[in-house]
């Protein structure tokens, strides 16, 4: 039995590619082993409040003297961290908004990235170390290597830095680009590529979820 934490952050509940690919991932995860389970947290439908107090960036023993974050905020942070640590794998639906993260996804990161709790600081604490994290990246345009827009995606590097470098997770990125090709005239010539990338992303999601769902269930 293996447990997956699935995060969605797209504001588009009907046509989102990250949500669609995420559903494919979930189906393959459950098919890999009948005992596998999923916790789904929709950060758009049920958004988290932004951090109420800067001391929440730290565990209680490292907070500045006199810090008194709201009790309900501490309880929410504890819940989110426990939910994360309970997962054998994490999949993150991550649409690119204004070249960066949706604010709803950033709020989740602010709650769960806590030095000396989920990331090393004065102690080598990495409860998620070695566990897989899959980023489902959907982008309206293209950001190909060697083009002027190659470095304009500030989302995947940021998520990879937190989940990979700080939390020690093993990162896989599944990308679909040109998601606007069917609705923006200037991108219409790229529709075939857009369609092909979407199909490839679904296939990659099936393969990765099937492999991880089988491996984690027998670990």
pLDDT digits (tens, 9 = 90+) for 121-143: 999 999 999 999 999 999 999 99
Confidence of residue 79 (pLDDT cuts 50, 70, 90): very high
Q: Residue 205 and residue 200: Cα distance in Å, rounded?
A: 9
Range 3-218: architecture per CATH: 3-Layer(aba) Sandwich (3.40)
What does DSSP assign to residue 28? H
pLDDT digits (tens, 9 = 90+) for 186-211: 889 899 999 999 999 999 999 999 99
Task: For residues 149-156, give the mean pLDDT.
Answer: 95
Q: Residue 44 and residue 146: Cα distance in Å, rounded?
A: 33
């Amino acid at each position: 039995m293996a447990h997956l934490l699935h995060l969605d952050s797209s504001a588009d509940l009907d046509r989102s590619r990250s949500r669609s690919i995420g559903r494919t991932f979930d189906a393959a995860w459950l098919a890999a082993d009948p005992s596998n389970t999923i916790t789904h947290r929709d950060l758009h439908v049920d958004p988290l409040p932004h951090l109420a107090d800067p001391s929440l960036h730290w565990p209680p023993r490292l907070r500045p003297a006199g810090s008194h974050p709201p009790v309900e905020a501490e309880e929410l942070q504890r819940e989110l961290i426990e939910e994360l640590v309970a997962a054998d794998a994490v999949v993150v639906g991550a649409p690119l908004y204004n070249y960066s993260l949706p604010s709803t996804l950033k709020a989740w990161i602010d709650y769960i990235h806590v030095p000396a709790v989920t990331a090393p600081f004065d102690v080598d604490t990495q409860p998620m170390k070695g566990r897989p994290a899959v980023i489902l990246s959907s982008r309206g345009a293209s950001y190909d290597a060697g083009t002027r827009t190659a470095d304009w995606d500030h989302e995947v590097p940021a998520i990879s830095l937190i989940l990979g470098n700080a939390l020690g997770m093993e990162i896989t990125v599944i990308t679909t680009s040109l998601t606007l090709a069917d609705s923006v005239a200037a991108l219409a010539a790229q529709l075939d590529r857009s369609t092909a990338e979407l199909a490839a992303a679904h296939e990659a999601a099936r393969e990765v979820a099937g492999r991880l769902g089988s491996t984690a269930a027998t670990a």
